[in-house]
Amino acid sequence: MKKLLAIVGAFGLIATGATTVVACNKGPKMKDTLGGLKASDFAEVLLGIVEGKLNYDVIRIVANTVKDNKKNKEIDDNVPLFRNTFVVTYKLAEGVSFPLAKDNKITLTIKKATDDQIKDCYKKDTNKEMPVEALTIAKKIQGYVSGTEFSSEITVKEEGTATVDISGVS
Protein backbone atom coordinates (compact mmCIF):
# COMPACT_ATOMS: atom_id res chain seq x y z
CA MET A 1 0.00 0.00 0.00
CA LYS A 2 2.85 2.38 0.85
CA LYS A 3 4.44 1.71 -2.54
CA LEU A 4 1.13 2.37 -4.30
CA LEU A 5 0.69 5.69 -2.46
CA ALA A 6 4.29 6.66 -3.24
CA ILE A 7 3.75 5.92 -6.95
CA VAL A 8 0.43 7.83 -7.06
CA GLY A 9 2.02 10.72 -5.15
CA ALA A 10 5.00 10.83 -7.52
CA PHE A 11 2.67 10.76 -10.54
CA GLY A 12 0.63 13.64 -9.08
CA LEU A 13 3.80 15.67 -8.46
CA ILE A 14 5.03 15.09 -12.02
CA ALA A 15 1.64 16.02 -13.52
CA THR A 16 1.48 19.21 -11.43
CA GLY A 17 5.02 20.15 -12.43
CA ALA A 18 4.25 19.62 -16.11
CA THR A 19 1.09 21.69 -15.87
CA THR A 20 3.00 24.51 -14.20
CA VAL A 21 5.62 24.53 -16.94
CA VAL A 22 2.97 24.69 -19.68
CA ALA A 23 1.01 27.41 -17.90
CA CYS A 24 4.10 29.52 -17.26
CA ASN A 25 5.43 29.09 -20.78
CA LYS A 26 2.88 31.45 -22.35
CA GLY A 27 4.18 34.97 -22.81
CA PRO A 28 2.09 38.07 -23.38
CA LYS A 29 0.75 38.55 -26.90
CA MET A 30 2.82 41.30 -28.52
CA LYS A 31 0.94 43.95 -30.48
CA ASP A 32 1.99 44.94 -33.98
CA THR A 33 1.92 48.72 -33.38
CA LEU A 34 2.26 50.92 -36.45
CA GLY A 35 5.80 52.27 -36.66
CA GLY A 36 6.35 51.60 -32.95
CA LEU A 37 4.26 54.71 -32.24
CA LYS A 38 3.20 55.69 -28.73
CA ALA A 39 0.57 58.18 -27.58
CA SER A 40 3.37 60.42 -26.29
CA ASP A 41 4.57 60.85 -29.90
CA PHE A 42 1.40 62.87 -30.54
CA ALA A 43 0.60 64.54 -27.18
CA GLU A 44 2.60 67.74 -27.73
CA VAL A 45 2.16 67.95 -31.51
CA LEU A 46 -1.64 68.11 -31.26
CA LEU A 47 -1.70 71.28 -29.12
CA GLY A 48 -3.57 73.96 -31.07
CA ILE A 49 -4.16 71.73 -34.08
CA VAL A 50 -7.18 72.40 -36.26
CA GLU A 51 -9.24 69.65 -37.86
CA GLY A 52 -8.01 70.34 -41.40
CA LYS A 53 -4.36 69.95 -40.36
CA LEU A 54 -4.76 66.82 -38.20
CA ASN A 55 -4.24 64.28 -41.00
CA TYR A 56 -1.17 66.09 -42.33
CA ASP A 57 0.57 66.24 -38.93
CA VAL A 58 -0.33 62.65 -38.03
CA ILE A 59 1.02 61.32 -41.34
CA ARG A 60 4.20 63.38 -40.85
CA ILE A 61 4.73 61.68 -37.48
CA VAL A 62 4.14 58.26 -39.09
CA ALA A 63 6.71 59.10 -41.80
CA ASN A 64 9.24 60.05 -39.13
CA THR A 65 9.18 56.48 -37.78
CA VAL A 66 11.15 55.40 -40.86
CA LYS A 67 14.82 55.70 -39.88
CA ASP A 68 16.53 54.71 -43.15
CA ASN A 69 17.72 57.82 -45.06
CA LYS A 70 17.20 56.30 -48.52
CA LYS A 71 13.65 55.27 -47.64
CA ASN A 72 12.97 58.70 -46.11
CA LYS A 73 14.04 60.36 -49.35
CA GLU A 74 11.71 58.10 -51.31
CA ILE A 75 8.84 59.02 -48.97
CA ASP A 76 9.71 62.73 -49.29
CA ASP A 77 9.71 62.41 -53.08
CA ASN A 78 6.25 60.80 -52.96
CA VAL A 79 4.48 62.62 -50.11
CA PRO A 80 1.08 62.78 -51.88
CA LEU A 81 1.16 59.01 -52.41
CA PHE A 82 2.42 58.31 -48.88
CA ARG A 83 -0.37 60.44 -47.43
CA ASN A 84 -2.93 58.18 -49.17
CA THR A 85 -1.52 54.95 -47.70
CA PHE A 86 -2.90 55.42 -44.18
CA VAL A 87 -6.41 55.87 -42.82
CA VAL A 88 -6.57 58.30 -39.90
CA THR A 89 -9.69 58.42 -37.75
CA TYR A 90 -10.29 60.20 -34.48
CA LYS A 91 -12.89 60.70 -31.79
CA LEU A 92 -12.87 63.76 -29.57
CA ALA A 93 -13.76 63.36 -25.91
CA GLU A 94 -17.07 64.84 -24.80
CA GLY A 95 -16.96 68.63 -24.78
CA VAL A 96 -13.75 68.82 -26.85
CA SER A 97 -13.58 70.69 -30.15
CA PHE A 98 -10.94 72.01 -32.53
CA PRO A 99 -8.47 73.64 -32.12
CA LEU A 100 -7.22 71.21 -29.50
CA ALA A 101 -6.20 72.72 -26.18
CA LYS A 102 -4.10 71.53 -23.25
CA ASP A 103 -5.62 68.53 -21.45
CA ASN A 104 -8.11 67.81 -24.27
CA LYS A 105 -8.51 64.12 -24.99
CA ILE A 106 -8.64 62.61 -28.46
CA THR A 107 -8.69 58.95 -29.46
CA LEU A 108 -6.56 58.56 -32.55
CA THR A 109 -6.50 55.50 -34.81
CA ILE A 110 -4.13 55.06 -37.75
CA LYS A 111 -4.29 52.00 -40.00
CA LYS A 112 -2.52 50.98 -43.17
CA ALA A 113 -4.91 51.54 -46.06
CA THR A 114 -6.03 48.76 -48.38
CA ASP A 115 -5.41 49.02 -52.12
CA ASP A 116 -9.01 50.16 -52.68
CA GLN A 117 -8.71 52.84 -49.98
CA ILE A 118 -5.45 54.10 -51.51
CA LYS A 119 -7.09 54.28 -54.95
CA ASP A 120 -10.13 56.11 -53.53
CA CYS A 121 -7.95 58.70 -51.75
CA TYR A 122 -5.88 59.20 -54.89
CA LYS A 123 -9.04 59.77 -56.94
CA LYS A 124 -10.35 62.32 -54.40
CA ASP A 125 -7.02 64.18 -54.51
CA THR A 126 -6.52 64.17 -58.28
CA ASN A 127 -9.92 63.45 -59.88
CA LYS A 128 -8.14 60.69 -61.83
CA GLU A 129 -7.90 56.92 -61.62
CA MET A 130 -4.70 55.76 -59.95
CA PRO A 131 -2.13 54.33 -62.37
CA VAL A 132 -0.81 50.86 -61.53
CA GLU A 133 2.72 52.28 -61.20
CA ALA A 134 1.55 54.81 -58.61
CA LEU A 135 -0.19 52.10 -56.57
CA THR A 136 3.00 50.03 -56.69
CA ILE A 137 5.05 52.96 -55.36
CA ALA A 138 2.40 53.73 -52.72
CA LYS A 139 2.41 50.14 -51.42
CA LYS A 140 6.21 50.07 -51.44
CA ILE A 141 6.60 53.22 -49.34
CA GLN A 142 3.72 52.18 -47.08
CA GLY A 143 5.72 49.02 -46.36
CA TYR A 144 8.58 51.11 -44.98
CA VAL A 145 6.46 51.70 -41.86
CA SER A 146 6.41 48.64 -39.62
CA GLY A 147 3.25 47.30 -38.03
CA THR A 148 -0.35 47.69 -39.10
CA GLU A 149 -2.25 49.90 -36.65
CA PHE A 150 -1.95 52.47 -33.88
CA SER A 151 -4.87 53.32 -31.61
CA SER A 152 -4.79 55.18 -28.31
CA GLU A 153 -6.40 57.92 -26.28
CA ILE A 154 -4.11 60.93 -26.18
CA THR A 155 -4.15 63.78 -23.70
CA VAL A 156 -2.93 66.96 -25.38
CA LYS A 157 -0.03 68.53 -23.49
CA GLU A 158 2.17 71.56 -23.75
CA GLU A 159 5.72 71.04 -24.93
CA GLY A 160 7.79 69.10 -22.42
CA THR A 161 4.83 67.91 -20.32
CA ALA A 162 3.50 64.88 -22.21
CA THR A 163 1.84 62.12 -20.19
CA VAL A 164 0.05 59.11 -21.55
CA ASP A 165 -3.14 57.34 -20.50
CA ILE A 166 -2.61 53.73 -21.59
CA SER A 167 -5.80 52.40 -20.00
CA GLY A 168 -7.60 52.37 -23.36
CA VAL A 169 -4.75 51.29 -25.61
CA SER A 170 -5.92 48.68 -28.08
What is the pLDDT tens value at each position of the chain, 170 positions in all? 555 455 555 545 555 444 444 444 454 555 679 999 999 999 999 999 999 999 999 999 999 999 999 999 999 999 999 999 999 999 999 999 999 999 999 999 999 999 999 999 999 999 999 999 999 999 999 999 999 999 999 999 987 544 444 444 44
Q: What is the pLDDT of residue 25?
A: 46
Give yes or no for a contact between 146 and 36, defined as CB atoms under 8 angstroms apart: yes
Q: Enumerate residues 6+ apart whose C-beta is below 8 A from 45.
A: 57, 61
Measured between alpha carbons, how far is 165 from 30 in angstroms, rounded to an integer?
A: 19
